[in-house]
Amino acid sequence: MLVVALSSFSPPSFADSEPTLSVVELLDKQLKNEVGKVVYVDFWASWCIPCRASLPWMNNLKAQYQAQGLTILSINLDHSRALADEFLLQNPASFPVIYDPKGLIARKYKLRGMPSSFIINRQGQIVSVHVGFNQEKKVAYEKELIALLNSTAQKP
């Protein structure tokens, strides 16, 4: 089960874990705080061509739907933090980014490709997993998010 809380981060930023928390524990802790919201979790890397289009789209989603209860969290899988930082200079993120160079979160959630995303309902349950990003998928993902945001269950 996934669940997210990151209101205190200034984008583009990396959520650094407390010394005793692994990146997996950090994500789990953050997600537990987001029960009651719809969460879009995105996995990306600097070498991922479709990720260049998905980050601006996620910025727009956040701006458009945050007031309705949408939270966006992204996990960067670059082996070098410098690559991720350079990518974020070119493609800023208005949402928190967790840096996971060892791919621990990716392994936990069994990623099948890049970019990958998980949509989590207001009850904290993963309701869909997506691989890839293009115009058609963007429309489908947004429709799915809107449907969840419009559901009456546990609105913030």
Give 9's pLDDT tier (boundaries 50, 70, 90). Answer: very low
pTM metric for this prediction = 0.82
The DSSP letter of residue 37 is S
- Res 148: pLDDT: 96
What does the pLDDT look like over 13-72, one tens digit per residue? Answer: 444 444 445 788 778 877 888 889 999 999 999 999 999 999 999 999 999 999 999 999
Rounded to an integer, what distance in angstroms lies between the CA atom of residue 40 and that of residue 1?
13
- Res 11: pLDDT: 37
Rounded to an integer, what distance in angstroms lies between the CA atom of residue 44 and that of residue 55?
9
Average pLDDT of span 92-111: 92
**Structure tokens given for 18:** 């407390």
Superfamily of domain 23-149: Glutaredoxin (3.40.30.10)
